[in-house]
Amino acid sequence: DTGVSQDPRHKITKRGQNVTFRCDPISEHNRLYWYRQTLGQGPEFLTYFQNEAQLEKSRLLSDRFSAERPKGSFSTLEIQRTEQGDSAMYLCASSLVNNDGYTFGSGTRLTVV
Amino acid sequence: SQQGEEDPQALSIQEGENATMNCSYKTSINNLQWYRQNSGRGLVHLILIRSNEREKHSGRLRVTLDTSKKSSSLLITASRAADTASYFCATDQGGKLIFGQGTELSVKP
């Protein structure tokens, strides 16, 4: 297992389009997290899963955002009707339940034009 | 919104000097973790300190935690140019990590 993989690395989309990102966590990790990061800021929590169950979703997260982890393995994050303010780095991380440290992917950089 | 605040926001030092970064947080925590991020990349876990611990070492890293003051510090000794990165503290709250805004460290050769 080579770590957490995210696809694509970069995505440029026009405002109003839908985009979907994929994250493949470390196979033994049952927790998976999505974060958003803008320039000069720390990662902002979006949502997390334990196995296939979505345990928490940030109150700051608009209804345009949805995440799934259908079989408790990979996860997808979809943004509908993208806005310029959605431009950011979207980071995925995974961990064991005891959360002794996250392993992050390299992120997907989204640019909405 | 971020939980923690880090100080300083930016730090520039010469190679060989020590670098100290501070983190403050607001609520009770299970543990506090420090991460490093090179420009445009994902974060890398450095060290974890539990709420019942006061100090922890890992190689050139030393972390302290003061739960009464809700603060932590990260010391990097004998810094190297390769330590240039952003450093984030994160607190474990209800199963998820909440990150601070980070300290941008620049180590000049």
Is A99's Cβ below 8 Å from some Cβ in B?
yes
Flag whether pLDDT at B4 surpasses 70.
no
The A residues from 1 to 40 touching B (CB cutoff 8 Å) are 4, 31, 33, 35, 40
Tell me which residue of A31, A36, A39 sits closest to A21, measured CA to CA.
Answer: A36
Higher pLDDT, B3 or A74: A74
Bridge partners for A22 per DSSP: A7, A76
What distance in Å separates residue A18's CA from the closest CA in chain B? 24
Flag whether pLDDT at B85 surpasses 50.
yes
* Band of pLDDT at residue B5, cut at 50, 70 and 90: confident
- As a whole number, mean pLDDT of residues B37-66 equals 94
- As a whole number, mean pLDDT of residues A55-79 equals 93
Burial A75-99 (b: 16+ CB within 10 A, else e): bebebeebeeebbbbbbbbbbeeeb
For A38-54, write each residue's pLDDT tens digit.
Answer: 999 999 999 999 999 99
Note whether A52 and A69 are within 8 A (CB).
yes
Q: Alpha-carbon distance B25 to A23, whole Å?
A: 29
Share of chain B above pLDDT 70, in %: 96
Flag whether pLDDT at A1 surpasses 60.
no
- As a whole number, mean pLDDT of residues A3-27 equals 97
* Band of pLDDT at residue B48, cut at 50, 70 and 90: very high
Flag whether pLDDT at B1 surpasses 50.
no
For A77-107, write each residue's pLDDT tens digit.
Answer: 999 999 999 999 999 999 998 778 999 999 9
For an interface test with B, the pick among A26, A38, A41, A48 (most B C-beta atoms closer than 10 Å) comes out as: A41
Identify the pLDDT of residue B3: 58
Share of chain A above pLDDT 70, in %: 98
Note whether A48 and B96 are within 8 A (CB).
yes
Note whether B9 and B23 are within 8 A (CB).
no
B99 and A43 within 8 Å at the Cβ level: the answer is yes
For B6-46, write each residue's pLDDT tens digit.
Answer: 889 999 999 999 999 999 999 888 899 999 999 878 899 99
Identify the pLDDT of residue B40: 77
